[in-house]
A and B are shown apart, each in its own frame.
Chain A
């Protein structure tokens, strides 16, 4: 099975972010970057699928400046066969622009399956996968918590409000990956060495003008947390009083 996984390089979220002087971007000093969480699950799932089938390969694709090569290389180290950087100056928040670039790249690739993470850890929009599939004219199942294949068909489970649904879809098709499917493997030393020999194609792209743009980033007001009101069950009456009189939630 020929699988393409579209991945995004994002900062690790375990930090106190600062806004850059431009006011429209995050200050990247000291930030560590990695593959977005759900994208990592998608890459892992793709690798497990091709390994199980004993055939096919995984291509990873990322849009952005040369810094995304580090993230693409991590996927190669995990076992992906080939990487493609769609080289642009920056990564827009306009998901449609990204989808157009991805669709142009994926169109003639002969992929049986195109995977995305449910949403990116930084922008948390969840639109690119669906839009790319729409532009490619292929069926797409969004936010799968289970995914398997049988005779040219995909079988997926997705959570919906009030329960879940099982769906089938024909290949070639697309899916975005939610929790519960796979956790990304740590690249082995062997994998890291092998990655250096794998193809990393750099293709400059001309992006359409974005129509969704960031005009301002702000840190929300700091919560005044940290109030320990007591220890053990003895603190319960005071908590109930505070919830009723101060927080007014009961």
Chain B
């Protein structure tokens, strides 16, 4: 019955949703043991030190992070301070005798690896969206860790706010993504309008268009970009290069709209429409708006 330390995600003082996914996973694993959640908003060096100290003094069996930008920056630091490996971006986590068993996508999302983590503590980061947060976990207290010294060699000199109205690609149930088939950066308006019609959608892009500077690199979905797993992925004017598919092939439902009937994306898509995106997407936007209004 392990005791588990959950390192919560926060931004601007607010605990982020993914934390409740971690706590849900922790409770299942703890099977009666204690689950403690902690949070700290400070530079990565200071937080990593504080978390490692807490993990040691608390004798936790498992330390959990979310595999977000924040968690990916913290988890390995904490693991190294504790002298143990980290199982990163896992899809599932369970006990395996004295050890932990995790699953994880490898080889550009084409293979699922089951791994054994035989270290104590077991440091693990969980892929956002891999675990469904149980309602009850919103009630869990998250303790604020005191940071003794905020000193860090890495100094943040500027914070650039993204558009706070934009849903993050990791959180969005729907992602509408655009590629070269849109022909020009201003045509991304079609993609944005469709995303707005869904109401709960984020906008993604392929490497081809981020390389051209049409969209920021942070919007790039693919092998060297974000890996996403939304309920619905709509690929607009995207041919389906392997490195792009690597970023979205685990989406629950995939829709592709492309002029070229031989585009590789259609082989992966659950539903494909062959046609001119400039005709199909506005029509789809209107239809989705109507469907949402009808309820």
A-side interface residues toward B, CB under 8 Å?
Answer: 11, 13-14, 16-17, 19, 26, 37-38, 93-97, 99, 118, 121-131, 134-135, 139-143, 145, 155, 158-170, 173, 178-180, 210-220, 223-233, 235-237, 239-240, 242-244, 247, 249-250
Contact = CB atoms under 8 A, between A and B. Distances in A.
Interface stretch (B28-36, B131-139, B265-273): B265-273
A236 B161 contact: no
A117 B86 CA distance: 17
B88 to A, nearest CB: 4
A230 B283 CA distance: 14
18 contacts: A26-B107, A122-B106, A123-B106, A124-B88, A125-B104, A142-B72, A143-B73, A163-B161, A165-B156, A165-B159, A179-B217, A216-B113, A219-B112, A220-B110, A237-B287, A239-B284, A243-B253, A250-B232
Contacts of A11: 107
B255 A130 contact: no
The interface centre, meaning the residue of B79, B261, B282 with most chain A CB atoms within 10 A of its CB, is B79
A138 to B, nearest CB: 8
A156 to B, nearest CB: 9
A4 B152 CA distance: 23
B288 interface: yes
B1 interface: no
Interface string B250-289: 0011110000010000111111111110011011100110
Contacts of A16: 110
Contacts of B113: 93, 214, 216-217
Contacts of A180: 210, 217
A162 B11 contact: yes
Interface of B: 11, 16, 44-45, 68-70, 72-73, 75-77, 79-81, 83-89, 101, 104-108, 110-119, 152-162, 164, 168, 170, 173-174, 198, 207, 210, 217-218, 220, 223-225, 227, 231-232, 242-243, 246, 249, 252-255, 261, 266-276, 279-280, 282-284, 287-288, 291-292
